[in-house]
């Protein structure tokens, strides 16, 4: 067998039509196959039920179809479902279905592991193996959408790139995946229901503006001065808060898209009223819609703990008193290590 087969999902519809005509098949076969790849996605040629066995064999000989598969799933008491996905060469990555009454959200990964080493995040302690390809990211969403339909009888309503990895360090694949997810010939989701979360790569935030993307952007801030942010997020060395403020303003000027700040509260580190004042200062320099306060989910590698409810409440009230639009995000799926910052391919 040819070991350098072309991945069939890198072909356009026109490419597929040319291929079928070249082997003496009817042109409409291309549309049938294309629909199986993107509109009613399957994980292999054998599942393409309206294509003859002989033709499926020809496709398998000529092309590769490196799809993600679900390796394991865990169900939380709160309804959250975490899936560990397996790549064709045996790497693992994770995605989460987060259900509420109003929405069904997929939290997806963009890399296998992560290179940023944020001190509070379990993924930051795993070596980055490689970027996920655009079709693997698409698979994550399609498989979680399938779970949502099976378990809750509802399609996904939202997607957040808040799983493993830094999306803006896998820029082209993330944008191409979003293109397929939002295409009428794919999952037809509105880009306004997609949020890409970044630890802060200023150059790429500006690039998003230049590329006129339609999705929302979330910045993982977690500390509102450079000294503290450097302690927990080494990326701050090369992308300090001022450079991120300027990049976010540029992004907003180009796109007018919604911007959110993500801020995890760590006990006795970034949860004082002085910290809140510094956060307010940053918030006022960017046309941000919201500050998402996130409760910390302890992980075995890190020394951080979560603050008391009283401290969280005082921090929240201080923001509200200063007219900051803030929301406290309660973590879901903690009992299965599916909550914010807990994805680490456990049980591999």
Tens of pLDDT, residue by residue over 243-261, are 999 999 999 999 999 999 9
Average pLDDT over residues 317-333: 88
pLDDT in tens, 193-238: 999 999 999 999 999 999 999 999 999 999 999 999 999 999 999 9
Query: Rounded to whole angstroms, how far apart are CA atoms 234 and 245?
Result: 17
Greatest extent of the chain over all pairs of C-alpha atoms, in Å = 72
- Average model confidence (pLDDT) across the chain: 92
Beta bridge partners of 94: 84
Distances (CA, A) of 97 to 154, 193, 238, 268: 12, 15, 33, 32
Element (DSSP H or E) covering residue 308: none
Question: Do 319 and 279 touch, CB atoms closer than 8 A?
Answer: yes
Query: Rounded to whole angstroms, how far apart are CA atoms 227 and 225?
Result: 6
Phi-psi region of 259 (alpha: psi -120 to 50; beta: other; left: phi over 0): beta
Q: Per-residue DSSP letters for 159-173?
A: EEE-SSS-GGGGHHH
Beta bridge partners of 96: 82, 107
The catalytically annotated residue of 17, 94, 140, 166 is 94
Element (DSSP H or E) covering residue 105: strand 104-107
The model's pTM is: 0.92
Q: Is the pLDDT of residue 282 over 80?
A: yes
94 catalytically annotated: yes
Average pLDDT over residues 98-123: 89
340 catalytically annotated: yes
The catalytically annotated residue of 107, 114, 118, 340 is 340
Question: Do 77 and 91 touch, CB atoms closer than 8 A?
Answer: no
Average pLDDT over residues 7-15: 96
Predicted confidence at residue 347, as pLDDT, reads 40
Question: Do 265 and 305 touch, CB atoms closer than 8 A?
Answer: no
Reduced to 3 states, what is the DSSP secondary structure of residue 326?
Answer: strand
Please state the length of the chain. Answer: 348
Q: Which two tokens stand for residue 304?
A: 């951080």
State what percent of residues in the chain have pLDDT above 90: 82
Which residues are CB-contacts of 83 (< 8 A; sequence separation ≥ 6)? 70, 71, 72, 73, 94, 95, 96, 97, 143, 144, 147
């Amino acid at each position: 067998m040819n070991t350098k087969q072309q991945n069939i999902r890198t072909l356009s519809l026109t490419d597929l039509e040319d291929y079928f005509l070249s082997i003496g098949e009817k042109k409409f076969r291309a549309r049938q196959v294309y629909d199986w790849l993107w509109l009613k996605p399957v994980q292999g040629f054998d599942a393409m039920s309206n294509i003859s066995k002989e033709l499926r064999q020809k496709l398998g000989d000529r092309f590769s179809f490196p799809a993600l598969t679900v390796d394991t799933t865990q169900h939380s008491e709160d309804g959250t479902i975490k899936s560990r996905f397996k790549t064709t060469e045996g790497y693992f990555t994770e995605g989460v279905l987060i259900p509420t009454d109003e929405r069904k959200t997929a939290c997806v990964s963009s890399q296998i592991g992560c290179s940023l080493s944020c001190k509070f995040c379990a993924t930051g302690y795993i070596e980055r193996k490689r970027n996920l390809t655009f079709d693997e990211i698409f698979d994550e969403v399609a498989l979680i959408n399938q779970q949502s339909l099976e378990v809750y009888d509802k399609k996904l309503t939202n997607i957040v790139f808040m799983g493993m990895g830094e999306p803006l360090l896998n820029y082209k694949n993330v944008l191409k995946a979003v293109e397929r997810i939002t295409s009428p010939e794919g999952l037809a989701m509105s880009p306004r229901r997609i949020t890409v979360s970044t630890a802060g790569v200023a150059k790429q935030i500006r690039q998003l503006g230049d590329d006129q993307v339609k999705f929302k952007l979330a910045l993982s801030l977690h500390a509102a001065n450079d000294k503290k942010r450097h302690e927990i997020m080494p990326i701050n060395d090369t992308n300090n808060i001022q450079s991120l403020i300027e990049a976010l303003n540029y992004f907003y000027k180009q796109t007018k898209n919604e911007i959110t700040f993500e801020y995890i509260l760590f006990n006795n580190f970034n949860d004082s009223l002085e910290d809140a004042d510094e956060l307010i200062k940053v918030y006022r320099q960017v046309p941000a819609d919201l500050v998402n306060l996130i409760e910390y989910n302890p992980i075995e590698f890190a020394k951080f703990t979560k603050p008391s409810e009283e401290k969280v409440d005082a921090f929240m009230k201080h923001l509200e008193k200063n007219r900051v639009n803030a929301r406290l995000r309660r973590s879901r799926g903690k009992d299965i290590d599916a909550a914010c910052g807990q994805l680490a391919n456990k049980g591999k």
